[in-house]
Amino acid sequence: MDTVVDILLLAFLAICAISILRLRDLFAMTMMFGLFSLISAGLFTTMDAPDVAFTEAAVGAGISTILILATLAQTSRREQATPARSKLVPLAVVWVTGAVLIYGTADLPAFGDPEAPVHNHVGPHYIQESGKEIGIPNVVASVLASYRGYDTLGEVVVVFAAVVGVMSLLGLRRRPPGLRPARGKPDPNDVLKVIATMVVPVILLFALYVQFHGEYSPGGGFQAGVIFAAAIILYALVFGLDKARQVIPPKVLNRLPAVGVLIYGGVGVVTLLLGGNFLEYYALAEDAKTAQHMGILFIEIGVGVTVASVMLLIYFIFSERGRGKRPDEENSDGDGDGDGDGEGAVSRDAGGTA
Amino acid sequence: MSFFEHYNYHLAIVLAMIGLYTMISRTNLVKKVAGLNIFQVSVFILFISLGVIEDGTVPILSPDHEVYSNPLPHVLILTAIVVGVATTAVALALVVRIREAYGTVEEDRVHEQDDAL
Amino acid sequence: MPLLIDLLSWALILVGGAFGVIGGIGLLRLPEFFSRIHAASITDSMCAPCIIAGLMLQSGLTLVTVKLAFLVVFLFLTSPTASHALAKAALHGGMDPGRTRRLDGEAEG
């Protein structure tokens, strides 16, 4: 039965991927892209990886889709037809590569084989020792935060580097040109505003739950950070960018990614000062398990702060860059108000609805 | 080489090839970024398939189960997903800048404008 | 008694699946954009809650049931809102519900 579900989901994924390939309308392609991420999250769940599924759904179907939409609002909506460009060379390359790879997988162990080499080294060690040495049920969290803490430090720094890159590419223009003042009176009974007011606090609470319960159930700093950012992005989509910017003032928000990395590295420096190695949590307290719990708690907070502020900052930078553009013949988002942030119907006030 | 032992890997490779084809044959830069993401997700599927153990369960310790799936691929793929979204964000920022500099996001026109200089 | 619960949850899950299929067929076959939104929202309002109710019966009186109940409440809040946002965006983008448009773009009076 598992086989059937797996094959069905993979078939759906292939259909989604082919439609992403062939769709000319890039808005439709973005929706299929979000669907692709969501189905792959389902596939990860059936393969016993709920942490990965959680992250893929939040990041792929949430943040990546929003970023592509924000980019499309500033570029064109339709893909131009490829001119007389031969499709034979790419097809040949793809077929040859695919055939070679499939030939290469002949030596891989069978799917689900318990005797596979990957299950014979550190995998069983983590599962058996994690309960005794660290004492939290979620083995993925303990491996991520304690056994492989250096990797996670590198990952947090990569996220930080991404926001530095996006800021230096797009974010240094202080005042977007041609900024238009808000028009019309906001309608307090607007359905979207009412529902958003009810739902955003729940999402923020859920983000905090995922952050701190990540040791007992699938979750952790990354997923919590993304969900937190998604709540504020929802607020920005419904109530407008200016009001959302006031939630966390730009001066604070610009510095938060660095604060998160600082917390993470700071834990390492504190353990150094207390006599252990870098990120050796045993130096933090007398009892081994308490020390591990403290170390994991602090670095997960650092991870959550960095990821939340980075995702939010990237969204704000993309949206502000798109403000104040004049619609030209290639930008066919139908908005007509030069706003260019692409979410015209949702972020406008009720005075603008048809 | 039995299909039913390796079907996950083969289908993941098919997905990867669709993503690769999107990247190299389409000229629109946003579509190339989407193809890159398809490729990344298919690699994740391949990796997670390596960690599955038959009759195993989610790697969260509980008194009811004995056999757990290998947690190590999960950890590596978690990192990979986040790095993937960081890459996508920077790539899309570059696409926006290219659009502002050249007026188009089609690769052919960008090359034409560069050659005409 | 367990047999009754099993039968009931089977029935609910199958009914939910049937609603999902009906919603999908409607999405493809209905003539016009705004009626297709209605077909899509059937999936959100009937298919998912029926399946979740079947799952709730299966898991009895545990924490899982409470979480599933929260899920249903959240779905009921957000999916009609999503349909509303879709319809509002379509109106704003210039689609007129008074004229039907077939899938191939031909307009009928």
Out of A10, A51, A94, whose CB is closest to B20?
Answer: A94
Q: Look at the block and give the residue holding tokens 């939040």.
A: A58
Percent of chain C with pLDDT over 90: 35
Please state, as a whole number, how many other Cβ atoms lie within 10 Å of the Cβ of residue C10: 13
Average pLDDT over residues A128-138: 86
Question: How long is chain B?
Answer: 117
pLDDT beyond 90 at A338: no
d(CA B8, CA B15): 11
Surface of A (164-223) touching C: CB under 8 A: 191-192, 195, 198-199, 202
In angstroms, the Cα distances linking A338 to A46, A328, A343 are: 45, 9, 12
pLDDT beyond 70 at C108: no
d(CA A235, CA A214): 25
Give pLDDT, residue A324. 58
d(CA A244, CA A246): 5
Mean pLDDT of chain C: 85
ipTM for the whole predicted complex goes beyond 0.90: yes
Q: Which chain A residue's Cα is nearest to B28?
A: A79
- The DSSP output letter for C105 is S
Q: Of A166, A156, A168, which is closest to residue A257 (Cα–Cα)?
A: A156
Average pLDDT over residues C48-58: 91
Probe site for chain C from A187, A194, A195 (most C CB atoms < 10 A): A195
Give pLDDT, residue A327. 47
Average pLDDT over residues C42-58: 90
d(CA A262, CA A268): 10
pLDDT beyond 60 at A325: no
Out of A71, A111, A122, whose CB is closest to B30?
Answer: A71
Cβ distance of A352 and C88 shorter than 8 Å:
no
- The DSSP output letter for C108 is E
- Give chain B positions within 8 Å (CB) of A151: 75-76, 79
Q: How far is A138 from chain B (nearest CA, A)?
A: 4
- The DSSP output letter for C100 is E
User: C-alpha angle with apex C54: C50 to C57, nearest 5 degrees?
Assistant: 140
Q: How far is A241 from chain C (nearest CA, A)?
A: 18
Count of structural domains, chain B: 1
Backbone angles phi, psi at C100, to 5 degrees: -80, 145
pLDDT beyond 50 at A218: yes
C84 touches A at CB < 8 Å: yes
Q: Which chain A residue's Cα is nearest to B1?
A: A106
In angstroms, the Cα distances linking C48 to A272, C11, C68, C81 are: 52, 14, 11, 16
Confidence of residue A184 (pLDDT cuts 50, 70, 90): low
For residue range B12-47, what is the model confidence (pLDDT) as tens digits? Answer: 999 999 999 999 988 899 999 999 999 999 999 999
d(CA C57, CA C4): 10
Question: How long is chain C?
Answer: 109
For chain C, the chains sharing at least 3 beta-carbon pairs closer than 8 angstroms are A
Surface of A (227-256) touching C: CB under 8 A: none
More confident residue, A351 or B18: B18
Average pLDDT over residues A47-57: 92
For chain B, the chains sharing at least 3 beta-carbon pairs closer than 8 angstroms are A
Give pLDDT, residue A211. 93
Strand, helix or coil for residue B60: strand
pLDDT beyond 60 at A333: no
Specify whether the backbone of A27 is left (phi greater than 0), alpha (psi in -120 to 50) or beta: alpha
Token digits of residue A283: 């130096």
Token digits of residue C23: 């919603």
Give pLDDT, residue A353. 35
CATH classification at residue B43? 1.10.287.3510
d(CA A75, CA B101): 12
Give pLDDT, residue A329. 37
More confident residue, A171 or C26: C26
Strand, helix or coil for residue B63: coil
pLDDT beyond 70 at A348: no
Cβ distance of C77 and A346 shorter than 8 Å:
no
Confidence of residue C78 (pLDDT cuts 50, 70, 90): confident
pLDDT beyond 50 at A344: no
Give pLDDT, residue A269. 92
- Give chain A positions within 8 Å (CB) of B53: 48, 112-114, 119
More confident residue, A274 or A112: A274
Average pLDDT over residues A2-24: 91
Q: Which of A19-28, B49-58, C13-22 has the lowest mean pLDDT?
A: B49-58
Specify whether the backbone of B57 is left (phi greater than 0), alpha (psi in -120 to 50) or beta: beta
d(CA A74, CA A342): 8
pLDDT beyond 50 at A331: no
Q: Which of A333-342, B52-61, B87-96 has the lowest mean pLDDT?
A: A333-342
Backbone angles phi, psi at A148, to 5 degrees: -115, 45
- Give chain B positions within 8 Å (CB) of A217: 60
Average pLDDT over residues C50-70: 90
pLDDT beyond 90 at A88: no
Confidence of residue C101 (pLDDT cuts 50, 70, 90): low
Cβ distance of A195 and C92 shorter than 8 Å:
no
More confident residue, A42 or A122: A42
- The DSSP output letter for B28 is B
- Give chain A positions within 8 Å (CB) of B78: 51-52, 55, 140, 144, 222
Cβ pair A180, A338 in contact under 8 A: yes
Q: Look at the block and give the residue holding tokens 């492989």.
A: A148
Give pLDDT, residue A158. 95
- Give chain A positions within 8 Å (CB) of B61: 127, 130-131, 137-139
pLDDT beyond 60 at A281: yes
Q: Which chain C residue's Cα is nearest to A335?
A: C93
* Cβ pairs bridging A and C (under 8 Å): 37
- Give chain C positions within 8 Å (CB) of A213: none
Q: Of A141, A36, A73, which is closest to residue A320 (Cα–Cα)?
A: A73
- Give chain A positions within 8 Å (CB) of B90: 162, 165-166, 169
Cβ pair A322, A241 in contact under 8 A: no
Give pLDDT, residue A342. 38
Give pLDDT, residue B93. 94
Cβ distance of B34 and A20 shorter than 8 Å:
yes
Helix/strand/coil (H, E, C) string of chain A?
A: CHHHHHHHHHHHHHHHHHHHHHCCEHHHHHHHHHHHHHHHHHHHHHCCCHHHHHHHHHHHHHHHHHHHHHHHHHCCCECCCCCCCCCHHHHHHHHHHHHHHHHHHHHCCCCCCCCCHHHCCHHHHHHHHHHHHCCCCEHHHHHHHHHCHHHHHHHHHHHHHHHHHHHHHHCCCCCCCCCCCCCCCCCCCCHHHHHHHHHHHHHHHHHHHHHHCCCCCCCCHHHHHHHHHHHHHHHHHHHCHHHHHCCCCHHHHHHHHHHHHHHHHHHHHHHHHCCCCCCCHHHHCCCHHHHHHHHHHHHHHHHHHHHHHHHHHHHHHHHHHCCCCCCCCCCCCCCCCCCCCCCHHHHCCHHHCC
B30: domain range? 2-115
C77 touches A at CB < 8 Å: yes
Give pLDDT, residue C109. 42
Residues 6+ apart with CB under 8 A from A279: A149, A150, A153, A267, A268, A271, A295
Average pLDDT over residues A57-86: 84
Give pLDDT, residue A285. 83
**R_g over Cα of chain B:** 20
Out of B17, B58, B93, whose CB is closest to A170?
Answer: B93
Helices (H), chain C: 2-29, 33-42, 48-59, 63-92
Cβ pair A98, B21 in contact under 8 A: no
Give pLDDT, residue A241. 86
d(CA B84, CA B33): 11
Out of B17, B30, B69, whose CB is closest to A68?
Answer: B30
d(CA A284, CA A280): 8
Give pLDDT, residue A340. 39
Out of A195, A202, A345, whose CB is closest to C88?
Answer: A345
Cβ distance of A127 and B22 shorter than 8 Å:
no
Average pLDDT over residues A255-261: 93
Q: How far is CA A301 from the centre of its chain?
A: 17
Token digits of residue A40: 């792959």
Mean pLDDT of chain A: 83
pLDDT beyond 60 at A336: no
Probe site for chain C from A192, A210, A239, A333 (most C CB atoms < 10 A): A192
